[in-house]
Every structure is written in structure tokens, then in C-alpha cells.
A and B are shown apart, each in its own frame.
Chain A
């Protein structure tokens, strides 16, 4: 089946640090990738939609200069949280979708903790 790998699974770092999270589709080409954020006991909140070779589309309220998304190839998208602060601590999850009537497949998430 379709596999999406997300790395790292856990990050703990100091306030002011920038953190990069990678999302890879291992056995299919992902035309579209999505980035979500999830707080404890809550549902997933869509942050942005990324299509290969074009700029990401951010949801309302998500700062594009804070959360930099790059989708340089059909198998890799990255999310960089710039100058992270404690309020950015959360569970970040990516998903990837092959073109056509295929469902999204999710990575296992990245737990980001900013001290």
C-alpha cells in the first residue's frame, strides 16, 4: 500500500530555533501534499496545501512566513517552522495524494516541543 514517511518523529528545541520536517511518499508520486497541525484531544487542522512545483496555498490564519513549505519534487515536501516559540509546540502531520481518485495517505506525525 501507499506509504508516507515523515521525519523526524520528535523534536525538542529551544525557542528561536528553526525546525525542518520532511514528508516523503515512498512508493508513489504525490501531486499534492497537505500539512496539518493537531493539538491534544482535537481534530486535525489543515495548515496548507502544496502542489509540486508551485507555491503552497495556506489556510486563513496560518502565517506563510512562519511556516515555510517547499514541494520541490513529486516525492518530497518540507515544512520549516521558523523561529519557533513555545506556542508552536504541537503535533504536525503531513499527507500525500497521488493524482486521480486516490485518498490521502498520512505520515506518522512529528511531535514538536519548543522549550
Chain B
């Protein structure tokens, strides 16, 4: 199982771009990278998933270098409502035997 390492916490201000980097040095060939957002007393919410290069959707971008040993979640123009814990996960999501382990996550605090 690939283990992930993220910063424990980050602070930023409204309107800024926030980049959260995750290290996954032991990522396997079949592993995808997925990011989730969690608010207190709620289940995690899917943000974005990728395998390599760059993926973009309506809320975020995911940058993955060629060696895939890290990834960066980019949140453009954050607002106060983006204050949450962000989790980076890696795993072979295509395998019914694959189990998904959560790391410690990054607690992002956005200030006015």
C-alpha cells in the first residue's frame, strides 16, 4: 500500500490560490491519486482523481509529475468555505481487493 505524506496544516487568505502537495514515494503502477475534502461531522467529499500529468475540473486542478511520486492539489481563489481537511489517497481503485487507507490529511484554514 502506498503511504502518503501531507503537511499537517496550512493557512491562506480568501482569493488566494492554495497548493497542497502530497508525497507518495511508493506509488505502484496501477495506483490512482485521489483527493477528498472533509468538513466537520460530514463524510469526505470527492474532489479530483488523476493518474498522471494534469487533471482539471470545475473546483480544482491536480498536478502529477512524470515520476508520480508526488502530487499537488491546486485550489484557485479560495473562500472561507474551503476551510476543511484535505486528504490525498493512492490506491488501485480498479481492484476489488484494493483497500483505501487515509493518511493524516491537511487541515486548511482560510482567513478573511
Binding site for B on A (CB under 8 A): 4, 6, 31-32, 34, 36, 43-46, 49, 51, 57, 59, 91, 93-95, 97, 99-109, 111
Contacts and interface: CB of A to CB of B under 8 A. Distances in A.
Contacts of A45: 102
Q: State the majority secondary structure of interface residues on A.
A: strand
Interface of B: 32, 34, 36, 41-46, 49, 87, 93-94, 96, 99-105
B32 A101 contact: yes
A108 B102 contact: no
Contacts of A36: 102
6 contacts: A4-B43, A31-B96, A43-B105, A59-B99, A94-B43, A106-B44
A111 B41 contact: yes
A45 B99 CA distance: 11
Contacts of A97: 93
Q: State the majority secondary structure of interface residues on B.
A: loop
Given A6-B43, A100-B94, A109-B43, 9 more contacts: A34-B100, A57-B99, A94-B43, A95-B43, A95-B100, A103-B32, A103-B34, A103-B49, A108-B43
B84 to A, nearest CB: 13
Contact of A102 (B45, B93, B101): B93
Contacts of B44: 44, 93, 95, 106
Contacts of A43: 87, 102-105
A57 B42 CA distance: 25
A109 B41 contact: yes
Nearest to B36: A106
B93 A46 contact: no
Most buried by B among A101, A107, A111: A101
A93 B87 CA distance: 15
A103 B88 CA distance: 12
